[in-house]
Amino acid sequence: MIILSKLADYGVIVATHLAAYPDRQVTAGTVATETRLPQATVAKLLKALAHAGLVTAARGAGGGYRLARSATSISVAEVVAAIDGDIGLTQCSVHVDECARTTYCPTRPHWAAINRAVGQALSAISLDAMLTPAAFVPRTFPSANPSQPDEPRFSA
Amino acid sequence: MIILSKLADYGVIVATHLAAYPDRQVTAGTVATETRLPQATVAKLLKALAHAGLVTAARGAGGGYRLARSATSISVAEVVAAIDGDIGLTQCSVHVDECARTTYCPTRPHWAAINRAVGQALSAISLDAMLTPAAFVPRTFPSANPSQPDEPRFSA
DNA sequence: CTATTAATGGACCAAATCGGTCCGAATTCG
DNA sequence: CGAATTCGGACCGATTTGGTCCATTAATAG
């Protein structure tokens, strides 16, 4: 399974690209060619980012996009949320009321905690951090089953 | 956006239900009625879990499913992986070779770390832990931007 | 030995979502 | 003032997902 949609992935690339050249007004087409991504898709992504207030848009000739805030103050989580909507682990995380078996489901309370962990992992990295070549290493979780023989793979 | 697919969510519910009654042979139909989930879907899920070796299946009259291992030694991550496949954050996480712009993409190395964080968050909780009424509280991550005014919501 | 029960594997269909394209509104420059 | 340019939003096709069903194999009961 893949957690981030292709669009969200591209969105982070685009946002990071903008972060690399702060205070430069760039058109969607320019970003597309520079990032080697399809033009129409980049345009759509920038629209979503603008709608979320992460980038500012200027129309007309000589217009374009630029980051609304500093690269250090924008997290990856915000970019993803701007494109794919708010992050929730499960269906009932997002639409709480639509789950008919809320009363029977013993698992639901536990999702909240995992959810928060994922969210914080994504919030912990700013666009600025994405630009640095060295990888950010988050603090690891304590494993509930340390001597587990075959853990599922989490490929990088 | 929703991280876990509905099927994976249901899968955890089913697996947790099995964990609640260890060493009891249950048919797919029984699990379906007891969990209030659609029968055909539960059957499909149990097939997948059996294929992954998480549950053992017995055919014929008096047959059914049961957990292959103890509830404490099966993590939520394993259940999810059994249904949705191995967990990867982005497309290129799973199919590394299919990303044509690997050389241009500065974000890719960073995904690995986030990826690992998500995976460990899911591995940290066993089916046994899912049964306990009190919520498990994972250790929180350090935030890269502590004074962030409007973080995206991570609904529970 | 036969009938019944239940998992297994597969094909199959409908619906939702995703990725992508197009045209219209707004703005700046000549 | 008008034409070029660029964002904004509606729209559409295709892949994926969620879900169902049937034929087959296997095991137990009578």
Q: What domains sit in chain B, N to C, each tagged with a CATH number?
A: 6-131 (1.10.10.10)
Q: Which one has a higher pLDDT value, B144 or A10?
A: A10
User: At B27, is the pLDDT very low, low, confident or very high (cuts 50, 70, 90)?
Assistant: very high
Is the C-beta of residue B29 closer than 7 Å to nucleic acid chain D? no
Report the residue from A86, A94, A114 with minimal CB separation from B152: A86
Q: State whether the Cα torsion B154-B79-A100-A5 is positive or negative.
A: positive
How large is the average pLDDT for residues A44-52? 94
- Which residues in A lie closer than 8 A to residue B14 (C-beta atoms)? none
User: At B14, is the pLDDT very low, low, confident or very high (cuts 50, 70, 90)?
Assistant: very high
Q: Could you tell me the distance in Å between the CA of residue A67 and the C1' of nucleotide C28? A: 21
The helix (H) or strand (E) run that includes residue A120 is helix A108-123
Q: Could you report the per-residue pLDDT of A107-132, keeping only the tens digit for each?
A: 677 777 777 777 887 888 899 998 88
Res A68: pLDDT: 94
Q: Which one has a higher pLDDT value, B142 or A53?
A: A53
Q: For chain B, what is the HEC assignment?
A: CECCCHHHHHHHHHHHHHHHCCCCCECHHHHHHHHCCCHHHHHHHHHHHHHCCCEEEECCCCCEEEECCCHHHCEHHHHHHHHHCCCECCHHHHCHHHCCCCCCCCCHHHHHHHHHHHHHHHHCCEHHHHHCCCCCCCCCCCCCCCCCCCCCCCCC
Res A140: pLDDT: 46
Res B90: pLDDT: 67
Res A153: pLDDT: 52
Q: Could you tell me the distance in Å between the CA of residue A60 and the C1' of nucleotide D1? A: 16
Nucleotide nearest to B55 in CA–C1' terms: C7
Res A46: pLDDT: 95
How large is the average pLDDT for residues B16-22? 92
Q: Answer yes or no: is pLDDT of A65 > 80.
A: yes
Q: Could you tell me the distance in Å between the CA of residue A6 and the C1' of nucleotide C19? A: 9
Q: Could you report the per-residue pLDDT of A2-21, keeping only the tens digit for each?
A: 778 888 888 988 999 999 99
Strand C bases contacted by the protein (CB, 7 Å): 4-10, 18-22, 25-29
* C-alpha gyration radius of chain B: 19
Q: How many CA atoms lie within 13 A of B120 on its CB side?
A: 19
Q: Could you report the per-residue pLDDT of B94-111, keeping only the tens digit for each?
A: 544 444 444 456 666 677
Res B97: pLDDT: 45
Could you say which DSSP state residue A98 is in? G
Cross-chain Cβ contact B91/A6 below 8 Å: yes
First to last CA, chain A: 13
User: At A150, is the pLDDT very low, low, confident or very high (cuts 50, 70, 90)?
Assistant: very low
User: At B71, is the pLDDT very low, low, confident or very high (cuts 50, 70, 90)?
Assistant: very high
A101 Cβ contact list (under 8 Å, min separation 6): B35, B36, B37
Q: Letter for the amino acid at A127?
A: L
Tell me the count of A-B CB pairs closer than 8 A: 261
The CA distance from A150 to A137, in Å, is: 23
Report the residue from B90, B138, B143 with minimal CB separation from A113: B138
In chain A, DSSP finds a helix count (H) and a strand count (E) of: 7, 2
Res B87: pLDDT: 76
DSSP letters of A19-76? HHSTT--B-HHHHHHHHT--HHHHHHHHHHHHHTTSEEEE-STT-EEEESS-GGG-BH
B72 Cβ contact list (under 8 Å, min separation 6): A144, A145, B126, B127, B128
